[in-house]
Structure 1
Amino acid sequence: MKVTLPKPNRTFGPADVLGLVGLVGLLIARYIPVARLVPFWGCVLRETTGWPCLGCGLTRVADRVAHFNFAGAWDANPLGTVAALFFALMVVVMVLHLVFAMPIPQLHLSPTEWHWARIAVATVVLLNYAWVVVKAKFPSLLT
């Protein structure tokens, strides 16, 4: 793994895109009750089969993180909460980068490191989904 630090700049890049997406998403979650306004909003898989999908709880996570209810967000979907907090962090990084020309470190991984990173992400996604399924279908196992 190699980390490089570019010269201070205000060039709009991938970190700024993530920050902009995070800012827009969290502002929408904070001020627009999407789940109540859109009549077809919801998980079709869960409504049809009773089983949650991989993304079940993400609307609640965004709403709860935007309202600073981190415990409620974690209860809805732990990995979604981590992702929402990452987007919030990227908003701060975007502001620091574009306003104060803070350089954003660049991470370079070898092919082997990328391989293990993909395995780690897949494992975390599967563990999170297992937790969401157990919480939805077998809540007595969590008490």
Structure 2
Amino acid sequence: MKVFIPPRNRRLGTVDYMGLMGLVGLLVARYIPVARIIPFWGCVLRERTGWPCLGCGLTRVADRVSHFNFEGAWEANPLGTVAALLFALAAVAMVVHLVFAVPIPEIRLSAKEWRAFQVVMPVIVLVNYAYVVVKTRFPHLLL
């Protein structure tokens, strides 16, 4: 892994766009009760079968992270909590970058590291999904 630090700039990049999405998403989660005002909001798979989908809990995660309830967010969906916190971090980095022209470091992975990432991420997603399924369907198995 190599870290490259560009010169001071205010050019929009990937982190800035992710930060903007994270900022908007967390502000919506904080101030607009989407799950209450949209009648069809919810997981259709879970409503019909009782089994959660891969994204079950993400609305609760966004709501809880935006209210600083990290423990509740973690219980709803651990990987979603990590993603929400990374979006929040990207939002902070975006503001610092655009206001103060602080450069955002670029991380470049080698081919071997990229292949390892491609193997590890699906495993992490499956472990997270297994946790959500157990939490939803078999909560007595968790202590």
Q: Which runs of 5+ in 2 are unaligned?
A: none
CA distance in 1, matches of 2:130, 2:72: 18
| Aligned counterpart, 1:47 | 47
CA distance in 2, matches of 1:118, 1:44: 29
Matched-pair identity in %:
69
| Aligned counterpart, 2:22 | 22
| Aligned counterpart, 1:32 | 32
Q: How does 1:84-123 map to 2 (within 5 A)?
A: 84-123=84-123
1:119 corresponds to which letter in structure 2?
V
Return the TM-score normalized by structure 2: 0.98
Which digits, 9 at most, give the CA deviation of each residue in 1:20-43, with x for residues without a partner? 000000000000000001100000
| Root mean square deviation of aligned Cα | 0.6
CA distance in 2, matches of 1:66, 1:25: 9
CA distance in 1, matches of 2:76, 2:33: 17
Structure 1 runs of 4+ aligned residues shifted over 3 Å read none
Count of matched residue pairs: 143
| Aligned counterpart, 1:128 | 128
